[in-house]
Each structure stands twice: as structure tokens, then as C-alpha cells.
Amino acid sequence: MSLAPSPHSSSVQARGIGDALNLTLRLTALGFVSCVLQLTLVPQISIFGASADLTPLVVASVGFLAGSVPASAFGFAIGLFLDLAFVQTLGISSLLFTLIGYSAGRLRELRAPEAPLTPIALGAGATALALVGYGVIEFMLGVNTPVSFSLLGAICEVTVLNSLIALPVYALVRRCLIGALPEDPRRRTRRARTTRLSPLSRP
Amino acid sequence: MHDKIVRRRRAVLGLLVALSLVLLSAFFGESSAGILGSIQSGFLDVFSPIQEGVTTLLTPVHDLINSIDDVVHASSQRDEYRRENRALIAQNASLQAYRRDYLQLAALFKLDQEADVSSYDQVTAQVISESPSVWYSHVMIDVGSSADVRLGDTVVDGDGLVGQVTTVAHNASEVTLITDSTSAVAARDAASGTWGIAEPAVGSSNQLLLAFPSSQQVAPGDLIVTAGTTANGHSDYPPDIPIGHVTSVAAANGAISVEPNANVKQLELVQVLTAPRRHSSAPPGAGGLVPVS
């Protein structure tokens, strides 16, 4: 009896490593482009007096598409990048985006919502969590955060604006990652339901 | 297998959160010249040129989006400027009206000085309605007996004689214009002093005919003024108020045409000469405004 791995299992393992590498490369490129856009172009575009915040949307979209583990790592990396680039307190954005990515990934893994407007709610939630969370952590760290109604208004404006652009951002992220995603959540859900409902699957 | 995935997932999350907290704590614990600060400044040194280059590359995109934003704002700015323009037009109209009033009042004042009507009280009035007919023979003014306006008072504007008060109410009066078919004014040629009667030309709402004893002493362009007297005595009109200018003298029948100085079709501000009252017992035909029978 031979203990050597079969050619089939070797190819499966190799394909898995290739997929992971492919996803990592794509996420790296996506994260870099998102950060660069967030640093250069997006703040200069004012819509209804507010500027959008791409990064929470991208992190949440990645979490919803790729799962919690890649998304939390992606969120951490993006947060660190932004903290370094904006010369702000290191670790805050990393922590928040890690949690955002992980939460979005867990939502996909546990619920797999199929509603077409899910990305909008996801984007709104991610944006609100990022903005409010940043203020709360700064406050807890003793930084004099100017909490006022105008700040709350600005948070609401950015959240609404991000909700409006959440769907196209999600579509773009999906298009970037479509070839490297572990599994399409909708396809997985449909198959699971079919299996569960089929009389052939009953004992 | 499932437990392994769960453990791995939790481990990754815990590791990343812990790393974030370590970064946070370390960043707060060290001075600005610490390791993390150096990493941050080094990152900036590396990333700044990239950021600058990307910003330059994306300038057309930025300009395009901003141009859209500008168009949106241009729309609102256009609306704002339109509102402002409407307000300015209204303000300008008001100022023009004030200016016109001022010019008319200045002309009235000048006329008062020139005609020497200082012995009369001058009541300035606004024309509130005009005769609806094409003849423009009557106008209503907004002063009446409450302002001491009485029947027969002379009405002038900045250009000259307008007419005479023929109906008086408490706060309004009717003025019969010199172009009304029932009126006639004792007049004289300011140059030659020839005396006569000025009355409306038949068929014309803006022409007077002078009935002078001799047309030979009148020439086109002569100024015709009120005479102040008639053959029967005093005229209701003060003397030397401009009536109009001679426009033509007919060689055949000696008919003298006069164009009134006052534009009776566009009266706005007029002045009523209210005092002193004279010859209250004089018959109407002896006054300056002679009903034509």
C-alpha cells in the first residue's frame, strides 16, 4: 500500500494554492488602487457637500465575496496603508477594517443573503461602523474629537453617499475578483437549497 | 475539518486584532521619533511621489468630474443670479420712477420760479387715472379739498399748463385738460405780446388753435404763454405759464397751430396752484378756461 499522494490530490492541492495566490494578487492590486484613489481622487470630489469613502465599501465587498479570513487580512492591510499614508494613529483603521472585513465575511458565510440590495445595506453599515468607530476609538484614546451635531451630520452624509455608490463599487470589486473567488455564494446557496428540498436527498 | 477552519478563522482574526492593538499601543507609547514614526515618515517618502504622479494622471478625471459639479452649481448659480437680477430690475424700476419724479418736480420747481407763481400755494399731485378716451381730456389727481384744492385751480406740470380743476372731492379732483373741447385759455405770444384765445383744434387731441386778432405778429416757434388777463378782467390762470410753441401759421386763413408743451398723454406728477382765490364772483366765461358753446 503506497502512502504517496495520488496525482489527483496533488493537482487539487496545486490548484488551491494557485487560487489562493491569484486571490492574494488580485486583492493586493485592488487594495492598492483603492487606497491610491482614496488618497488622490475621491476626497476632491464633493457630491452634495460630502466626499465618499471608498475603503469601507471595498473591504465590505471583499468580505462579502471572498469570506471572512481573506477580508480581515485585506482590511488590516488597507487600514495600515491608510494610517501610514494619512499620518494618523497607527492601528485604528487596521482594527476597524479588520472587523468590517470579518463581519462582512461572516455575514456571507452564515446568512448568504441573496437580496440584490444587500451591498447597499452592507456598505451603509460598513461606512457607519468605520466613521463612528474611528471617533469612538479616538475618544477612548483621549484625543479631543470634536463631537457635535455637524459631525454627526457629516457622518450621515458620507454614509448616505456611500450607500448610493455601494452597488457599483460592489460590482467593480466582484468583477475584479470573479476569477479568483473560492465560491460564488449565490451558486452555493442555490445548490444547498436544491439539495435540501430534493426528495432524493431524503433518507 | 470544520473545526480546523473555524480555529484558523478565529486565529487570524485574533492575530490581526492583537496586531492592531499592539500597533495602537506602541504608537501611543513612543515618541514621534520612534520606530513607528520613522516607518510612517519613510512610507510617506516612498508613497508621496506615487501619490503626486497619480494625482497628475488623474487630473483630467478630476477636472471632468469637477466640471460636472460646476455645471450643477452653475445651474443653481444661474437661478440665484436670476433672482438677483429680478430684484435689481425691480429696484432699478423703482429708482427710475424716483428719478422721473425728481425730474418732474425739478421742472415744476423751475416753472414755479420762472412763472413767478410764488403768490400761489403749490400742491403736488399724482395723476391716478386718465380719461379712457383717445382725447385725453380729463385726468384724476390724488388731491382734493382736503389739500385746499378748489374749483378752477390751475394745474401745471414741469413743461407748462395742463388744465384746470373742474371737479373736487375730498381726496381727489378732476382736471380738465387744455386739450378738452370745452376749454379755452387766454394766451399771448411771449415774443410779440399779441393776445388771443387758445382752444383745442377740432379733430386733434394734441393741438391747439390760437384765435389771434392778427396772425402777422406770430411766427412758428414762438412761445405761447398764459395771458393772466382777459378782455373781461382777470384770468383764472396766472400769467406767463408756458402753454406751447407755435408750429405753423396758415397763410390762407391765418390759423395758428400750437403744440402744447405739456404732454397730456403721459402725465404723472402735476402741481395745483391753489391760492390766492380771486374774483370768485366773476362769471365762468371771464376766466381763463372758457367753456365753448
The tens digit of pLDDT for each residue in B113-130 reads 776 677 788 888 988 887
* Interface predicted TM-score of the whole assembly (ipTM), two decimals: 0.77
The phi, psi pair for B15, rounded to 5°, reads: -65, -45
Q: What is the pLDDT of residue A85?
A: 86
Residue B247 lies in a domain: yes
- Mutation target to probe the B interface, by most B beta carbons within 10 A, among A40, A44, A89, A161 is A40
- A105 contacts A23 by C-beta, under 8 angstroms: no
Taking CB atoms and an 8 Å cutoff, what residues of chain A touch B12?
A: 69, 72-73
Residue B24 has a CB neighbour count (10 Å cut-off) of 19
The owner of cell 490530490 is A9
- A101 contacts A59 by C-beta, under 8 angstroms: yes
Under 8 Å CB pairs connecting chains A and B tally to: 82
| More confident call, A144 vs B200 | B200
CA diameter of chain B: 135
Separation between Cα atoms, residue A183 and residue A67, nearest integer Å: 9
What is the residue range of A148's domain? 16-201
- Residue whose C-alpha is closest to residue B159's, from B141, B177, B144: B177
Q: What's the pLDDT tens digit per position in A35-90?
A: 988 888 888 777 777 788 999 999 999 999 988 999 999 999 999 999 888 888 88
Residue A141 lies in a domain: yes
| Domains held by chain A: number | 1
Separation between Cα atoms, residue A118 and residue A188, nearest integer Å: 17
CATH number at A197 reads 1.10.1760.20
Comparing alpha-carbon positions, the chain B residue that sits nearest to A137 is B24
Separation between Cα atoms, residue B70 and residue A133, nearest integer Å: 34
Residue A156 has a CB neighbour count (10 Å cut-off) of 13
Separation between Cα atoms, residue A51 and residue B37, nearest integer Å: 28
Residue A2 lies in a domain: no
What is the residue range of B144's domain? 122-286
Residue A119 lies in a domain: yes
Contact A94 B22 (CB under 8 A): no
Residue B242 lies in a domain: yes
The owner of cell 399724482 is B126
Q: In a 3-state reduction of DSSP, which class is residue B233? A: strand
CATH number at B225 reads 2.40.10.340
Determine the distance in angstroms separating the CA of B86 from the nearest CA of chain A, rounded to an integer.
Answer: 27
pLDDT < 70 regions, chain B:
1, 32, 115-116, 131-136, 202-206, 213-216, 230-234, 276-293
Q: What's the pLDDT tens digit per position in B179-224?
A: 887 788 888 888 888 888 888 876 666 677 777 766 667 888 888 8
A20–chain B Cβ distance below 8 A for any pair: no
By mean pLDDT, which of A89-98, A101-110, A127-136, B136-145 is the weakest? B136-145
Q: What is the pLDDT of residue B14?
A: 92
